Amino acid sequence: MDIDLARTWVQAIAAAVDQHKDHLTQLDSAIGDADHGINMQRGFSAATAALAGLEPDTVGAVLVKTGTTLISTVGGASGPLYGGAFRAIGKPLDAPTVTPGQFAAALADGLASVRKLGAAAPGDKTMIDAYAPALAAFQQQVDAGADLAAAALAAADAAENGMRATTPMQARKGRASYLGARSIGHQDPGATSTALIFRALAETAVA
């Protein structure tokens, strides 16, 4: 992973979020307040704009700037959660190029940030249910000697499986938890955007 790839990843997330905005909002209207699409679009278009004016000299600078921008532009729960995650991912990546192993460790820091801030666990029907299996798949590939593209493809597939697995769960964190058992039967919006983020990474790394 290098600076250009990190920037292209954030741009690819912004494009995916634009494309899937209505779907994210539709999912959030079933079990939340119908703003996840607009929250994600606002945050990632602001991040893309912020990066256009930045001359980063490390991978981390790109991702920390992305996180800071998400925190300052997104009002919903997802803003601080994703913002904190991107800041945590960027923080250790203090070089113009980083290895897949270093990136895996940084992704683990990102998940730890989400878990610390949101106090949710796997199975609570949140973005963690896509992020945790994605990270595990990424790490497993890296441990087996895979390159970034192969690891990211496995992570994207695992994130999408995790996203689908949120449908039968009852939400225990976030707005959806207010619905209790009525949250069952709906796919989690944040797990869905997390799957978009990992798919964007895979598409960027493969290209």
Q: For binding to ligand ADP (CB under 6 A), which residues are involved?
A: 28, 32-33, 35-36, 39, 76-78, 81, 114, 118-120, 126-128, 173-175, 188-191
Complex with ligand ADP: residue 99 or 167, whichever CB lies closer: 167
Provide, rounded to whole angstroms, the least separation between the CB of residue 173 and Mg ion.
13
Tokens 């978009």 belong to residue: 196
**By C-beta, is 61 or 128 nearer to Mg ion?**
128
Q: Which SS3 state, helix, strand or coil, does residue 2 take?
A: strand
Candidates 28, 129, 188, 203; binder of Mg ion (CB under 5 A) is 28
> Which one among 4, 22, 33, 57 touches Mg ion, defined by CB under 5 A?
33
> What is the CB neighbour count within 10 angstroms for residue 195?
27
| 188 is a site residue for Mg ion (CB under 5 A) | no
Orientation of helix 3-31 relative to helix 36-52, angle to 10°: 160
The C-alpha atoms of residue 37 and residue 20 are separated, in whole angstroms, by 7
37 binds, among Mg ion, ligand ADP, none (CB under 5 to 8 A by kind): none
Q: How far is CA 171 from CA 49, 123, 184, in A?
A: 34, 8, 7
Q: Which residues contact 178 (CB under 8 A, 6 or more apart)?
A: none
Among positions 101-130, residues that touch Mg ion (CB under 5 A) are none
Residue 114 binds which entry of ligand ADP, Mg ion, none, CB below 5-8 Å type-dependent: ligand ADP
Q: How far apart are CA 100 and CA 34, in angstroms?
A: 36
Residues 36-95 that bind Mg ion (CB under 5 A): 36, 76
Residue 123 sits at φ, ψ, to 5 deg, of 95, -5
Q: Which residues bind Mg ion (CB under 5 A)?
A: 28, 32-33, 35-36, 76
